[in-house]
Structure 1
Amino acid sequence: MSFEIKSSGEAYDVIIVGSGAGGGMASKILSEAGLSVAVLEAGQDFDPAKEEDRTQLRPPWESPRRGSGTRVRPFGDFDQAIGGWDIEGEPYTKAPGTQFDWFRSRMVGGRTNHWGRISLRFGPNDFKRKSIDGLGDDWPIGYDDLKPYYDKVDKLIGVFGSKEGIYNEPDGFFLPPLKPRLHELYAMKGAKKANVPMIPSRLSMLTRPINNERGVCFFCNQCNRACQAYADFSSGSVLLKPAMEKGKVDLYTFAMVRAVTTDDSGKATGVSYINKVDMQEYKLRARAVVLGASACETARIMMNSKSKSHPNGVGNSSGMVGRYVHDSTGADRMGILPDLVDRERYNEDGVGGMHVYTPWWLDNKKLDFARGYHIEYWGGMAMPSYGTGFAMDTMRKYLKDEFGNPSPNGGYGEGLKKDIRRLYGTTLGMSGRGESIPQYSNYCEIDNKVVDKYGIPVLKFHYKWTDQEIKQAKHMQDTFEEILTEAGAILMGTKPGADTLYGLATPGRIIHEVGTTRMGKDPNTSVLNSNCQAHDCDNLFVVDAGPFVSQADKNPTWTIMALAWRTCDYIVEEFKKKNI
């Protein structure tokens, strides 16, 4: 059942804020342990199997905008990313000189509905980077602490891949991987000549059945739309909804949490939230509170949760809440493969993501920057959408007639259509996604001069890339150019230079922000202990990416869920011991 308004008299064992990767996992583990659970989601309910929510297998022309993005759906009209970097009535501010774009998801399942489902474990080195390069801090836990939970996540959710035996790219329990598509074969050729390794990707789509509750991938290449067969991983369909069916879980949608409430002793007593439907404030009570609202939103809630016991915000006696926020680095490059002009048409959709990828392969001691990046490959013949053909003025110059002259077709009408058909499926692109160095000076704080439309003070961001990330982006561009050239591609555009930070994406644009409530052994320099329990409030826990001490060159989702599962096991034990 789903509630929009609940009386303030209702009490639960646990309140969970957020329904994404961490919140969804917490709802499953805690409810199945017999605890009563309330899940508060700031957005709408969502189920991709319901016709009113389904966008999968709908052609672009069914959209009033032919698939174009909107303010609330920035990736496209049929992409399941409801929210965005700019939400009406929900602003955030930036300090002078700061570039940071904050993505919020406003739907059950959060960001897991539309992500690339790149499902990678952090490796042993990723937890101990300071010991390796002297930068940042080590985690208070190591790979061995999370390995049992990575194993559980693999088996519960399903991830395809191959066993490679790479030390810092740990193998897991894999479903059969997919064969590379034609554009990926060209990428493999270029990577081999450039001495860059490439292995089957590791994505959380089911290539084989793992239970009776979910279907198997039918290769429509539209995982960004969320799967009506539940064959890909989304928190709502794989974690939260099954938990609601099996355990005592109440879901509150359109519930914008203002603060964690506390008593005179400083313990959490529940949450205060604004109901977006009637714009009234309500309170729920619980014996424990679990925050999984996303790294920055969780930090915002904690800093806004001020009381006599917590004058700087709950869990913030150290002043570390909001500090060390950092996003993955990102840069891209694309080329055209002349060999594929006028290519034969056939269905090669595959999954909605890459079939192959490159893990970090070099020794940073021999480079001028610390940490690494992986490479994602894209291209092929996915369904055309809004924007197809917009770059034809640039691309047409690569089309030649039988005499080697530029395309004689015009820039509109029938000639344009002919050129688009000739070039469809010829592009090969790659994206680097890398690890940045956490900085104390990169942080978010409460802007006491600005509130959102619910009357809640908003976040203000302070962020700058360092030379480490800029040099890493330069290395990405050099690598992309070499692979594309060796693959036989004609490079598109001008190679990004120092004036653009080598194409380095604006912080926040990769949507991998972590580290605002980081864990640590010292309460003076961290917010949480190694169990993701607040140093200052022992019945308050965090299960999103906030506890991360560092990001790694991998996507964070698998680590969010493994860490959330480990945290929830600890919570259950504390309930059994009557410590909560």
Structure 2
Amino acid sequence: MPLIDTAGLQKEYDVIVVGSGAAGGQTAYTLTLDGAKVLMLEAGRNYVPEIETPMFHTPDQAPLRATSTLDKEFGFYDATVDGGWQIPGEPYSSASTDADRTFWWWRARMLGGRTNHWGRISLRNGPYDFKPKTRDGLGFDWPISYDDVAPYYDKVEMLVGIYGDNHGLENTPDSPAGCLLPPPKPRAGEALIQKHAKKTGVPVIAVHRAVLTQQLDFKRNAALLHPNNPRAQQIVADSMRSRAPCFWATDCGRGCSIKANYQSTTVHLPPAMATGNLDILPNAMVREVEMGKNGRATGVVFIDKTTGKEQRAKGRIIVLAASACESVRILLNSKSAQFPQGLANSSGKVGKYLMDTVGASVSGQIPMLEDLPPHNEDGAGGMHVYAPWWLYKEQMAGKLDFARGYHIEIGAGRDMPSFGSTSGLANHVGGYGKKFKQDMRRYYGSFVSLVCRGEMIPNEDSYCEIDPEKKDQYGIPTLRFHWKWSEHEKRQALHSHQAFTEIIQNMGGRVTGKQDLLPGGYIIHEVGGAIMGADPKSSVVNQWGQSWDVKNLFLTDGAPFPSNADKNPTLTIMALAWRSADYMLAALKRKEL
């Protein structure tokens, strides 16, 4: 079962998976390796990072020196092919024109989705993060605990390859032996921040990121991941063996031709396809889920973007893994006499409680980092260290004026020069000729950034709905967003400014810039919209991501999240997708679905 077009569709599949990123890739991987026949529908084009990644290319070899453009928000070399916050022919809208009430919706529109260009920060949610309402009375508890998800975190880490370390810190879970790869050493600027952050009580530790620092133990890992399944073990071991460790040459956001970092396109999809159980159909824009008279989903309706024609696919189970907002759009557009307000929406909660990550930052210039001898600090294509939230006890004691925390993402080092990385030197470099060159060498690499990534509490004013007037170029009604940050998030961002300023000053540096609270959606961590819960009256899906209303309809992306911890959501999405897929497999074998 290969990459296909609509002519190659089978009459019916065990499972249809809509989306091919972290959620869709993990779901298809788990299902196919256990024998299920799966169709994956991807709204974007095929993408092959092994041959499309510009490894070793320097920024000066790219148009505009690789700086960002309207259609390449993260620069010319970013792995995203056709996606972004704005896609021609695929509009969305905000109900308010106020800058702080708007929402930015990023869509990847390519095989592998956002996993091709993401930051690869892979943090486990902690025990507090699954029961936030129990701790402070705000938001919602998950219907599951950390202990329910922990075995699946283990599996994902062993499959994907996560570097990091264990430190025994509060609500920052350690991983069992054999799950993590050795972390790279801190860069000079990171080590300096680590040293001086201690003065303010901030622990700077090795971050967990989805990049191979050494080859995976493919025999051991494959056997642990797929016990009693020799064929799956062999397929997964072969796939792991094909991945090379990072050799610190190219930014991860470009993709990776040697498969050192995690992308669905190089980690999840190759073994799934090797089973012969997966068909992948790119350029398939799903419009709605179709229902049968028995109250079960029967398949999906999609637009073949290559022909513009409406097509159908049939499946025993339908999985929406298209990203939180896209899955919500499909549900809301799947109206029928049984579900006049949208599919699986008897609770009225589809589209509600949309969340993103709190984003703010402070940058500074550090004299101690001036005039460093030239050396390569490219590293693992992203940060090597970070600071987890460190004020849980103070928060519970009522010493802070906001309820949830943030972690600190650290930027420091002498990255490969480009237009963007040198433009900040303008306020420090003077003259021309020899003096100009001396100043450039002196100041380059002496800048640091401290970035807040914090938890948002779900609120009634942040949601999405179908726009009553607009449709995209395929005739599919589009989304309209409502957004509001609460005082908790605003105060959290202000707290980060104060904490980061103090760290920079402790380093003997000076603040050169501050970024206030960013708009919703800008961090591209949106979750919620079809939250899970224990009560069908107040939630959309159960603990397995299974719709309360339609038993063979599942959501495995971020839409079921009832809270959005400060931890980046991708690792949790994959862990929950694996858990949900195991549940589907058991139900298929029992012939319940």
Give the TM-score of the pair, scaled to structure 2. Answer: 0.92
Q: Is the counterpart of residue 182 in structure 1 residue 188 in structure 2?
A: yes
Given the alignment, which residue of 463, 481, 506 partners 2:519?
506
Greater alpha carbon shift after TM alignment, 483-492 vs 64-73: 64-73
Q: For 1:147-182, what per-residue CA distance to the aligned partner results, in whole angstroms no more than 9, with x for missing partners?
A: 111111111111111111124111112111111110
Contact 1:74–1:81 under 8 Å retained in 2 = no
Structure-1 residue corresponding to 2:374: 345
CA distance in structure 2 between the aligned counterparts of 1:391 and 1:163, rounded to whole angstroms: 35
- Report SS of the residue matched to 1:15: strand
Counterpart CA distance in 1 for 2:528 and 2:21 is 17
Q: Indicate if the aligned counterparts of 2:425 and 2:443 stay in contact, CA closer than 8 A.
A: no
CA distance in 1, matches of 2:253, 2:71: 15
Residue aligning to 1:45: 46
Q: Give the counterpart letter for 2:183 in structure 1.
A: P
Aligned mates of 2:54, 2:310 — CA distance in 1: 33
- Partner of 1:329 in structure 2? 358
Query: Where has structure 1 moved over 6 Å in runs of 4 or more?
Result: none
Name the aligned partner's letter for residue 337 of structure 2: K
Aligned position for 2:85: 85
CA distance in 1, matches of 2:440, 2:322: 43
Question: Which of 416, 433, 437 is equivalent to 1:383?
Answer: 416
Q: Residue in 1 aligned with 2:565?
A: 552
Secondary structure of the 1:188 match is helix
Letter in 1 for 2:103: F
| Residue aligned with 2:522, SS | coil
Specify every segment of 5 or more residues in structure 2 that has no aligned partner in the other structure, as ranges: 219-240
Measured after TM superposition, the shift of residue 395 of structure 1 is 3.0
CA distance in 2, matches of 1:418, 1:37: 60
Distance in 2, matches of 1:423 and 1:246, equals 53
Question: Considering only aligned residues, what root-mean-square deviation do their CA atoms show, in Å?
Answer: 1.5
Letter of the 2:74 partner, please give it: F
Structure 1 residue 10: Cα displacement:
2.9
Equivalent of residue 536 in structure 1, options 539, 549, 559? 549
Residues 187 and 412 of structure 2 are in contact (CA less than 8 Å); yes or no, is this contact kept in structure 1? no
Q: Contact conserved, 1:189 with 1:486, CA < 8 A, in 2?
A: no
Instruction: Report the residue type matching 2:579 in the other structure.
Output: R
Q: Which residue of 1 aligns with 2:32?
A: 31
In structure 1, C-alpha distance between the alignment counterparts of 2:8 and 2:119, rounded to whole Å: 38
Moved more, 555-564 or 301-310: 301-310
Q: 2 CA distance for matches of 1:290 and 1:386?
A: 43
- How far 1:342 moved relative to its partner? 2.4
Q: Contact (CA 8 Å) 1:264, 1:308: kept in 2 or not?
A: no
Deviations 1:56-90 (A, max 9, x none): 22112222222122333210100112311011111
Please show how residues 473-492 of structure 1 align to structure 2 within 5 Å: 473-492=493-512
Secondary structure, in 3 states, of the residue corresponding to 2:153?
Answer: helix
Aligned equivalents of 1:414, 1:91: Cα separation in 2: 50
Where in structure 2 are the equivalents of 1:541-580 lying within 5 Å? 541-580=554-593
Contact 1:527 1:534 in 2 (8 A): yes
How many angstroms does 1:221 deviate by? Answer: 4.8
Q: 2:197 aligns with which of 191, 198, 209?
A: 191
Shift in Å at residue 7 of structure 1? Answer: 6.2
- Report if the CA contact (8 A) 1:4-1:277 is conserved: no
Partner residue, 1:60: 59
- The letter of the residue matching 1:54 is T
Aligned to 2:13: 12
Shift in alpha-carbon separation, 1:151–1:420, aligned structure 2, 3 A: same
Find the aligned partners of 1:560 and 1:418 in 2 and give their Cα distance. 48
With structure 1 as the length reference, what TM-score do the two structures score? Answer: 0.94
Q: Secondary structure at the match of 1:470?
A: helix
Q: Does the 8 Å contact 1:60/1:67 carry over to 2?
A: yes
The answer as to whether partners of 1:215 and 1:229 remain within 8 angstroms in 2 is yes
Q: Residue 187 of structure 1 aligns to a residue in which SS?
A: helix
1:213: Cα distance to partner?
2.4
CA drift at 1:48: 1.3
Please list the CA deviations of residues 372-431 of structure 1 after superposition, one character each: whole Å capped at 9, or x if unmatched: 0000111211111232332333233xxxxxxxxxx4x14xx7755543333211111111
| Corresponding residue of 2:137 | 134
8 Å CA contact retained: 1:519, 1:526: yes
CA deviations over 1:191-215 (Å, ceiling 9, x no partner):
0122211111111111121131211
Partner of 2:230: none
Give the direction of change, closer, same or farther, for the CA distance of 1:159–1:45 in structure 2 (3 Å limit): same
**Count of equivalent residues:** 558
Alpha-carbon displacement from aligned partner over 1:129-157 (angstroms, at most 9, x marks no partner): 00100001100000011011111111111
* Structure 1 position 309 matched with structure 2 position 338: yes
Judging changes above 3 Å, is the alpha-carbon distance between structure 1 residues 45 and 418 closer, same or farther for their aligned structure 2 residues?
farther
| Alignment partners' CA distance in 2, 1:557 and 1:351 | 18
Is the 2:428–2:439 contact (alpha carbons within 8 Å) kept by the matching residues of 1? Answer: no
Q: Distance in 1 between the 2:531 and 2:329 partners?
A: 14
Alignment partner, residue 255 of structure 1: 284
Q: Tell me if 1:165 matches 2:153.
A: no
Counterpart CA distance in 2 for 1:268 and 1:185 is 54
- C-alpha distance in 2 between matches for 1:20 and 1:417: 44
> 2:56, 2:250 within 8 Å by CA — same for their partners in 1?
no
2:540 is the alignment partner of 1:527: yes
Does structure 1 residue 446 correspond to structure 2 residue 452?
no
The percentage of counterpart residues that share the same residue type is 48
Cα 1:233–1:525 change in 2 (3 A) is: same
SS at 1:121's partner residue? coil
Task: Give 1:557 deviation, angstroms.
Answer: 0.6
The answer to whether the 8 Å contact 1:12/1:36 transfers is yes
The answer to whether the aligner puts 1:458 opposite 2:478 as a matched pair is yes
- Gaps in structure 1 of 5+ consecutive residues: 397-406, 497-502
- List per-residue Cα deviations over 1:443-482 (Å, max 9, x = no partner): 0000020000000000000001010000000000001101
Query: Over residues 339-396 of structure 1, what are the superposed CA-to-partner deviations in whole Å (9 max), with x where a residue is unaligned?
Result: 2222210112210111111001103132110010000111211111232332333233
Structure 2 CA distance, aligned partners of 1:425 and 1:115? Answer: 24
SS in 1 for 2:582: helix
Counterpart Cα distance in 2 of 1:420 and 1:247 = 55
| C-alpha separation in 2, matches of 1:310 and 1:7 | 32
SS of match in other structure, 2:272? helix
- 2:488 aligned residue (449, 460, 468): 468
Paired with 1:246 and 1:416, the residues of 2 have a C-alpha distance of 59
> Shift in Å at residue 46 of structure 1?
1.2
* 1:117 has 2:120 as partner: yes
Instruction: State the shift of 1:277 in Å.
Output: 1.1
SS class of match (1:3): coil
1:370 aligns with 2:370: no
Tell me if the contact between 1:221 and 1:353 (Cα under 8 Å) persists in the aligned partners: no
Show the counterpart of 1:224. Answer: 253
Cα separation, 1, equivalents of 2:55 and 2:550: 43
Q: Distance in 1 between matches of 2:250 and 2:133?
A: 40
